[in-house]
Structure 1
């Protein structure tokens, strides 16, 4: 018979106590045997919990990110109760919604004031993409946003525009914005961006910029191009540094569609020809140009609507 010394017994009890304490601290899941497989119900619960954490921000997290981006919010009754009319609540707001509003702020450089978020009344409660489920925000109307949205999204209704998975509905005193997907307003990879050009740059993107600026297009970013960029920047209340970055591109490259005419269409046609399109550079956005745009969009995994908006311009300027 094997005997156990008093010291060994005390040590065993102490070790068991430490293990129990660790299980309490780390959670019951950590205390379970490593070989135990989760049941269907517990696996589903874990998946749901993980998805919930990854899909939404806490109110504190949402407000911190919005505040850091220079976005403010208000409510008519100065409250944050999700279930009370007149409040503005971030309880249960989706990460993509918050990140989408921040992207709008950065792209437009417009003041953004949120007047409605994830609260339930007085908003619609049925359906998938609702305020209460965290997919929508309301932002106050202002001249800057009122110009930016129609310019950078396609019109799909009398007062509705869309850009990728984002929909913008203009109501009497606010924009109702729905973020159905990534929140980026585009189906293209997130890494795509506008090129930054400055004095000394050369290439096809410089040629496009010069065509859009209506100056001699020689593909060289010289003093004349710097002056033209500064003039454009001052006109549009941008930092007049002569550097053509994302904020300047967003105002310089217009959204073009069937029926558009002018130098911007010629710049678009020049880029499309560079990518193999057999079209004329006549400055008229006809069926041939629309077809070339759709072909380019399909090739680069963009929404193939035949409209040359920001996502299409970015890809044209970035693609080799």
Structure 2
């Protein structure tokens, strides 16, 4: 690959699909959309990155790629090619990198062999990438997506299939949310202030003053080491996932007090007594209904995220 725009060798038999008045018409890209950047229509040009553009975006995000044969030929087995890669696919991998803070290594992209060639969402049509397995990615995806099969997870329009030596990731409609509810955990670090910091301090069982100073940073590092996370002192998604426990009726302690304080911030008239009784469960259900969540009265990851990020 020489970095110049190239024509994705897709089938020329795609047609326009009428979706109806509610969604107007969705155009399934045909031959004209496969032209090079120099001759493509503006609409088509917005759908794909050229190989050079894709590699520049990935490199800027700290994402690397490799192939077993050290090649970039779209039509050759063992290569990793960005010829005909969709923008949403590249942007989706970058979103995964930023949300997870994991090392991301792409081992397959828009090349045709040895991947499946039938269907809409294929590697050859630019919808999929393969990402090498590593402990961070292997932990992050199951924690932030819902399981839909024996080795398959989904978050929004993104599907993750764990195979023997890589994650096969399909970006059907965009980058997808970084979490199933579409709201990421807040990322907190030195200098952060506010209610989310207070909640983190309560969960860490340290002085809760709402300021992310050295003591809070050290407490986060200690917690991260205990749970075998990267001890960087930054409270991001992976740390929140371990720090904020799932709570339900009958629970008690500092985590329940942190929850009750958050519920009061959102208007609940309950006592901050550390007991997950009927009043707390009712307040959780009321909050969940107001955010279109399942009103089960259980405070799991999705409810915690919304409590921490909702105004």
TM-score by length of 2: 0.68
Counterparts of 2:160 and 2:76, CA distance in 1: 25
Of 201, 205, 211, the match for 2:202: 211
Q: How many Å apart are 1:57 and its aligned residue?
A: 0.4
Q: Is the 8 A contact 1:62 1:90 kept in 2?
A: yes
1:207-245 deviation digits (Å, cap 9, x = unpaired): 2111332334454556643431343355533434xxx5x
Q: How many Å apart are 1:264 and its aligned residue?
A: 5.2
Q: Is the 8 A contact 2:99 2:178 kept in 1?
A: no
1:161-214 deviation digits (Å, cap 9, x = unpaired): 22222221111111011112230425999997725454583x421221113323
For residue 240 of structure 2, what is the aligned residue in structure 1? 253
Counterparts of 2:136 and 2:179, CA distance in 1: 25
- Give the number of aligned pairs: 263
Q: Is the 8 A contact 2:144 2:178 kept in 1?
A: no
Deviates more, 1:96-105 or 1:152-161: 152-161
Q: Is the 8 A contact 1:113 1:140 kept in 2?
A: yes
Q: Is the 8 A contact 2:58 2:90 kept in 1?
A: yes
| Alpha-carbon distance change, 76 to 274 in structure 1, aligned in 2, over 3 angstroms | same
SS in 2 for 1:253: helix
2:230 equivalent to 1:237: yes
SS in 2 for 1:55: coil
For residue 297 of structure 1, what is the aligned residue in structure 2? 291
Q: How many Å apart are 1:266 and its aligned residue?
A: 5.7
Counterparts of 2:157 and 2:164, CA distance in 1: 23
Q: How many Å apart are 1:258 and its aligned residue?
A: 8.1
The runs of 5 or more residues in structure 2 that have no matched partner are 1-30, 34-39
RMSD of Structure 2 on Structure 1 (CA): 3.9
In terms of fraction of residues, the more helix-rich structure is 1
Q: Is the 8 A contact 2:157 2:173 kept in 1?
A: yes
Counterparts of 1:178 and 1:304, CA distance in 2: 27
Counterparts of 2:59 and 2:223, CA distance in 1: 30
| Alpha-carbon distance change, 85 to 195 in structure 1, aligned in 2, over 3 angstroms | closer
The runs of 5 or more residues in structure 1 that have no matched partner are 1-43
Counterparts of 1:257 and 1:162, CA distance in 2: 21
1:253-285 deviation digits (Å, cap 9, x = unpaired): 21866879786566445424432457896469x
Q: How many Å apart are 1:54 and its aligned residue?
A: 0.7
SS in 1 for 2:160: strand
| Alpha-carbon distance change, 313 to 74 in structure 1, aligned in 2, over 3 angstroms | same
Q: How many Å apart are 1:127 and its aligned residue?
A: 2.4
Please give the residue correspondences for 1:27-106 in structure 2 after superposition, counting only pairs within 5 Å: 49-106=41-98
SS in 1 for 2:97: helix
2:116 equivalent to 1:124: yes
Q: Which has the larger radius of gyration?
A: 1
For residue 114 of structure 1, what is the aligned residue in structure 2? 106
2:266 equivalent to 1:275: yes
TM-score by length of 1: 0.66
